[in-house]
Structure 1
């Protein structure tokens, strides 16, 4: 039989009246003569296939819309590097139209030569099995106008094909900003490193040399200097210097004199392209600087001038705004370092003077020879006050005269024959008026007096006459001589008065031996007052701990007594408690007074304060027994403390006692970064740290004392 065959799609109607698509296949059956004898019809429901095809069409349209609107330049790449498909963002990035790109251009046409080999290697390797190739990286893109863009590329191979899809994000502006940020960050890091190095310098001369070295290096200068303010003489004294020839170390600059003096006067930075051509140049500096470019920066702290930095370099390299900014930031760091070093040296001077007073006190109490005692006093005064000569004259009430007894620093023996009546000369006037006589510059005095010849011969310029008074009676006059003008600070005067008081006591002791005990008590009280005053001064600097030293002193002593520490050691424990944070004079204000959490670098600087305390107090014999608390109060019972990581009973008992009291008081005090803890919470913390931070036995005694209260 022969067959006729037809097929096609046609709609059919269900019983419910809905129409559904079918695929119809009809076959005509014929007999051997070719006559139709039957018709075979096969109908297949193709509703699901039609729906799938419709979904596919919608999907293609959707993905094309996504491709064109991804927000980034996107392209399809063939294995042979041809770009087969591109979106509008790529057209905008490249400067070419889709008609110019698709099937006609390769992605290699858009890559700078230096990046091309790397990109080709990635392209080929990406299509090989087992190859690990970056899918995200950066390269440089060339557009139609030959402009170069920094591009972040993300590329993936389309599964089951050798084709890949690539998204290109233009990060040119971000790269430029990042580069600028990196440069700024590098500069800031350099400044930070320099700053940390500077604040660790406590020797002023070394510090000034370092300041100049770093300042010149920061801006590639050829030379420079730093001049620091002498507040007594109101001049700037040349400190560290580089590139100057034959400049004396004691060179001084007046306000308004040259670049340095102008910066001081105006309290602002000055940039000069040609120093010699500058109308305000100082003639004496022209030979050293000449036609070079120069910049002067004030070194200031809290509105007060500490000094001036001056840097110069060749005239064909004038200083830029960035140079000025760098040096201004550096000057701020230098100001902190200089202030810190000055504060440390001030404290060191105070300690030396305290030690001198103690030595004088010991001489007074240990010798009945007045001359030996006063010789020690004279020697300590010359060293501590940094003056040229000192003399002491005794008052003889019967003769109403002042007679030389001892002195030092004179070029001749003439002063040894001094004998003056009350009211005669500056010395007699001091005794008569019972007030300090201060002549800052004797060369300006026109009044004739008995010692004028001696003063001319000795070339003295400045004079102090201090009456020695005890029990309301004059016993002598202490004289200070210096061969340059002298206008000292109040703390210098305070020490002079204290020393004068000791001299008067020494004289009175020899005159009235039975008053020795009372005199020694007065001196000890003065000594302790100085220590307490110093502790208060430290708290004024670190205001968040104000009153801390006084509060911890009493409880520390109570625990020490209860634990059986000998009475003679309690005084040392008291001093150690008062001076426990003396090492913080070596910590810069930016760290000490920081309201928030310290950085790792700042914390490393802060952890050095027990070491600084040891370096300061170890120089003073009288305070060596008090070192345990300042040096070791941050050690922990379990060995995790600092600075030496001592463990258990390796830690001195005084430090173990103080560690508990210190934390107890600190937790119950307000801090910038937290409020004070309630007593119950602080007490619970102490208990929890027993055996870890604290000596369990000390905690036990501490709790007993608190329970008794």
Structure 2
């Protein structure tokens, strides 16, 4: 019967574990001291505190047992995983986390003891009955190949005897050679995980161990090596899932702190990008956001060589970024080329041997942009890292939504302030020219605009002449407006808001060339169906108004029309009722 040595610092846990194992094994329970390791046993079980105290003694005991495999199992809590990692490969062969599941414990213990029995009983019968793939190499050539190896790798014993183990392909072409050479050079048991490919081209993760055998005595040269392997894909996937979750938690914690410290939208997005790249340990990334007005994607944050794309706009469906946006799906590119961006402007900016992952950025309104992470091909982008990028893209989407809401609130507050200023100017104003001048000044400051003008209908004519203007560089200012002519004339004739981003087509090319305007808007001033004037706004850069802007401009036009009527009424009232004259005082 196999003997298990329990070296747990907690006596209650020792007792409970002994009761759980005693039905199947001979159990020796001892206080964790170096002397307790001197006896004979087939498996040692320690907890975190015992490992901290005895790790050097455990290593020495394992070395004394060589070339036989003497396994040790660590029971630890999730909080102590960091401590266990420090000694894991040198000391511990298996780890199980508390609270312990009975079935899992029995499975781990059975697996370790089975590996020890294989090391002790090299005889053919024992090896053939093993559930692990067992291979014995002599000077690098396969001498033994058990039935489990046939099931795991796909090649029969007849096919493999006399062959090199490199027939079983590894992701690292030198993987087998390095594993065996390291084990022989150190004269010690070596274990690692490897991606292997079966005879049917199925890839899987194998836990492979290599033990040098001195078949002719303790001091004889190593001519034989015992190799064992088992499919560790399921366990590795579980570990990857846990690692992925920890990566996400780390990223979220760091990003939450960074976002709280960031003051501007640009800083928030750049912080999200930087922290994500830091967690992934990759150098290059970028965030593109969709601009509704131009229907294209603009770069708002980038690192490394992707900063060269600052002035390059991308249309939906164009290249990897545009395709990701248009499809709303994650797109992975094994190796980037300039063609991946479909723009001659980026030729020479895409370095060789880089891959990328593009993830759509979503808000409740739909896809709002693209999060791209680029990495050298020497770095493997594992699925867990792609999941982290997708999680961070969701954070970017929520952050962008918050930025948009804050921006809109700020804009609406500014618009509300403008309307209050217009109301105040109308209420307190008694001179039309001064009142209109104050209003156009406030409009330029709060909308904002580069120039503004209010024109009023000239008495007895269909023309409209300037009553107040601001922002014009030419002394002549804004010309007289006639219905149907230019931008303001169109607004007057159609009696509704007119927008223009093409001065040539809309008939105000001369003004645009003189003042360097590229876009503008005009809205008629109407009160009780009476057209009294027109308000025009001009911009020296591209301008794309949204619904909020249109609402405030039309509201401002209604207030201005009302204010004009009010001041004119006061002027008429003062004309009909002049103030009484005060007689001069009598001379003394």
* Shorter-chain TM-score above 0.5: yes
Alignment of 1:475-624 (within 5 A): 475-513=532-570
Return the offset for 1:176: 7.0
Tell me, yes or no, if the aligned pair for 1:293 and 1:315 is still in contact at 8 Å: yes
1:233 matched residue in structure 2: 294
Tell me, yes or no, if the aligned pair for 2:519 and 2:543 is still in contact at 8 Å: yes
1:472 matched residue in structure 2: 529
Return the offset for 1:265: 2.4
Q: 2:445 aligns with which of 383, 387, 410?
A: 383
Return the offset for 1:490: 1.0
Alignment of 1:16-55 (within 5 A): none
SS across alignment from 1:379: helix
Return the offset for 1:432: 2.8
Inter-partner Cα distance in structure 1 for 2:309 and 2:572:
53
Q: Does 1:462 align with 2:519?
A: yes
1:353 matched residue in structure 2: 415
Inter-partner Cα distance in structure 1 for 2:279 and 2:74:
35
2:332 matched residue in structure 1: 271
Tell me, yes or no, if the aligned pair for 1:441 and 1:485 is still in contact at 8 Å: no
Deviation by residue 1:224-263 (Cα, 9 ceiling, x = unmatched)? 2212121122122221222248748554322233332222
Q: Does 1:188 align with 2:248?
A: yes
Inter-partner Cα distance in structure 2 for 1:459 and 1:79:
90
2:26 matched residue in structure 1: 75
RMSD of aligned alpha carbons: 4.1
Q: Does 1:138 align with 2:198?
A: no
2:427 matched residue in structure 1: 365
In 2 relative to 1, CA 322–177 (structure 1 residues): closer, same or farther, beyond 3 Å?
Answer: closer
Deviation by residue 1:88-109 (Cα, 9 ceiling, x = unmatched)? xxxxxxxxxxxxxxxx981266
Return the offset for 1:405: 2.0
Tell me, yes or no, if the aligned pair for 1:212 and 1:225 is still in contact at 8 Å: yes
Q: 1:118 aligns with which of 40, 50, 54?
A: 54
Give unpaired runs (5+ residues) of structure 2.
1-17, 33-37, 59-72, 77-83, 85-90, 110-231, 574-588
SS across alignment from 2:321: helix
Q: 1:338 aligns with which of 400, 410, 413?
A: 400
Tell me, yes or no, if the aligned pair for 1:230 and 1:236 is still in contact at 8 Å: yes
Inter-partner Cα distance in structure 1 for 2:23 and 2:493:
95
Return the offset for 1:487: 3.4
Tell me, yes or no, if the aligned pair for 1:468 and 1:500 is still in contact at 8 Å: yes
Return the offset for 1:424: 3.2
Inter-partner Cα distance in structure 2 for 1:233 and 1:374:
34
Tell me, yes or no, if the aligned pair for 1:198 and 1:337 is still in contact at 8 Å: no
Q: Does 1:106 align with 2:40?
A: yes
Inter-partner Cα distance in structure 2 for 1:219 and 1:151:
27
SS across alignment from 1:441: coil
In 2 relative to 1, CA 73–365 (structure 1 residues): closer, same or farther, beyond 3 Å?
Answer: farther
Q: 2:481 aligns with which of 420, 441, 445?
A: 420
SS across alignment from 1:189: helix
Please, what TM-score do these two structures have when normalized by structure 1? Answer: 0.49
Inter-partner Cα distance in structure 1 for 2:464 and 2:107:
92
Deviation by residue 1:117-156 (Cα, 9 ceiling, x = unmatched)? 739999xxxxxxxxxxxxx97389xxxxx994446899xx
Deviation by residue 1:590-646 (Cα, 9 ceiling, x = unmatched)? xxxxxxxxxxxxxxxxxxxxxxxxxxxxxxxxxxxxxxxxxxxxxxxxxxxxxxxxx
Q: Does 1:261 align with 2:261?
A: no
In 2 relative to 1, CA 473–198 (structure 1 residues): closer, same or farther, beyond 3 Å?
Answer: farther
Q: 2:388 aligns with which of 294, 310, 326?
A: 326
Give unpaired runs (5+ residues) of structure 1.
1-66, 82-103, 123-135, 141-145, 155-166, 517-709
In 2 relative to 1, CA 356–399 (structure 1 residues): closer, same or farther, beyond 3 Å?
Answer: same
- Once the two structures are overlaid, the 10-residue window that deviates more, 194-203 or 384-393, is 194-203
Q: Does 1:300 align with 2:359?
A: no
2:343 matched residue in structure 1: 282
Inter-partner Cα distance in structure 2 for 1:397 and 1:372:
20
Alignment of 1:213-228 (within 5 A): 213-228=274-289
Tell me, yes or no, if the aligned pair for 1:370 and 1:507 is still in contact at 8 Å: yes
Tell me, yes or no, if the aligned pair for 2:45 and 2:74 is still in contact at 8 Å: no
**Aligned residues, how many?**
392
In 2 relative to 1, CA 168–357 (structure 1 residues): closer, same or farther, beyond 3 Å?
Answer: closer
1:206 matched residue in structure 2: 267
Return the offset for 1:349: 0.6
Tell me, yes or no, if the aligned pair for 1:202 and 1:344 is still in contact at 8 Å: no
Tell me, yes or no, if the aligned pair for 1:356 and 1:380 is still in contact at 8 Å: yes
Return the offset for 1:491: 1.1
Tell me, yes or no, if the aligned pair for 2:314 and 2:322 is still in contact at 8 Å: yes
In 2 relative to 1, CA 472–315 (structure 1 residues): closer, same or farther, beyond 3 Å?
Answer: same
SS across alignment from 1:323: helix
Please, what TM-score do these two structures have when normalized by structure 2? Answer: 0.58
In 2 relative to 1, CA 432–319 (structure 1 residues): closer, same or farther, beyond 3 Å?
Answer: same
Return the offset for 1:293: 1.7
Tell me, yes or no, if the aligned pair for 1:388 and 1:409 is still in contact at 8 Å: yes
Tell me, yes or no, if the aligned pair for 1:198 and 1:334 is still in contact at 8 Å: no
